[in-house]
Structure 1
């Protein structure tokens, strides 16, 4: 009995980790599967359909990341994130509902846990999309004014510069031996 509970909890934890990890791939998987099925039905064969579906799914993922990273409008970013988060949330809802049927006897609690799980998986997919896309943040260089900027401003290359107040001069070390 105890071993069954431990194995069930281990399986539940493993399934949830996989669900969170793979949540971002729900839409590209669906796109790839749809295009692959279309390719198979039009005569591409099994190998051709799998290759076309795989390439289409990868292109869909990278295209979404590229668009998400390059768009500056928060509204468009939210729409793109929602397009990825909604299918992942539905998949998370059904996965948690199926897994909770093993451990939770109450139907109401199963649906409550499934709704919370779906919400968490959907948010996880949106966060992963933003992380993979780099959130469009370009590295910014901080410009710090030099302490001697007021002295060197307008000074040409042939004019002498005033010493910078930021350079500290330490006394030269003595050459005598200690002992």
Structure 2
């Protein structure tokens, strides 16, 4: 019984981690899924649909990160980050709302937790799209 409880908690934690990452990358995921579904409906085949969907999602993510890293104009960087963070916040709101309602929380707690989840996931998406790899603190010493 202890093993099944531990595995259940581990599985629930893994599902929450996957849900969090899907919410953070909501825009690339939605573009990749939409591309794949459109090609599948156009009878282009499963392999081509999956490949094109993965490519479209990855290209959207890479384009956003490169554009955010290369553009020097603050308003344009703000717009790029907002384009990625707003869908993530919306996805986070609904993900946390569903989990809170499943847990049986009251309406006030559900609303509060949903907004906190939207802020946390939107902020995480904002940071991930605006952070340039390799520009963090270095350990090269004084």
Whether TM exceeds 0.5 here: the answer is yes
Q: Give TM-score scaled by structure 2 length.
A: 0.78
- Root mean square deviation, CA, Å: 2.7
- Normalized per residue, the structure richer in helix is 2
How much has 1:48 moved relative to structure 2? 1.1
CA offsets per residue over residues 142-176 of structure 1, 9 Å max, x none?
A: xxxxxxxxxxxxxxxxxxxxxxxxxxxxxxxxxxx
Unaligned runs of 5+ in 1: 138-179
Would you say the 8 A contact 2:22–2:29 is kept in 1? no
Structure 1 residue aligned with 2:96: 96
How much has 1:12 moved relative to structure 2? 6.1
How much has 1:75 moved relative to structure 2? 0.9
C-alpha distance in structure 2 between counterparts of 1:117 and 1:68, whole Å: 24
Unaligned runs of 5+ in 2: 136-142
How much has 1:19 moved relative to structure 2? 3.9
Greater mean alpha carbon deviation, residues 76-85 or residues 9-18: 9-18
Trace 1:34-73 onto structure 2 (pairs within 5 A). 34-73=34-73
Q: Give TM-score scaled by structure 1 length.
A: 0.63
Greater mean alpha carbon deviation, residues 10-19 or residues 36-45: 10-19
How much has 1:84 moved relative to structure 2? 0.8
C-alpha distance in structure 1 between counterparts of 2:92 and 2:80, whole Å: 19
Q: Does 1:127 align with 2:127?
A: yes
Trace 1:1-179 onto structure 2 (pairs within 5 A). 13-131=13-131, 133-134=132-133
CA offsets per residue over residues 43-75 of structure 1, 9 Å max, x none?
A: 211111111111111111111111111111111
Q: Compared with structure 1, are the counterparts of its residues 121 and 40 closer, same or farther at alpha carbon in structure 2 (3 Å cutoff)?
A: same
Q: Compared with structure 1, are the counterparts of its residues 8 and 119 closer, same or farther at alpha carbon in structure 2 (3 Å cutoff)?
A: farther
Q: Compared with structure 1, are the counterparts of its residues 14 and 40 closer, same or farther at alpha carbon in structure 2 (3 Å cutoff)?
A: closer
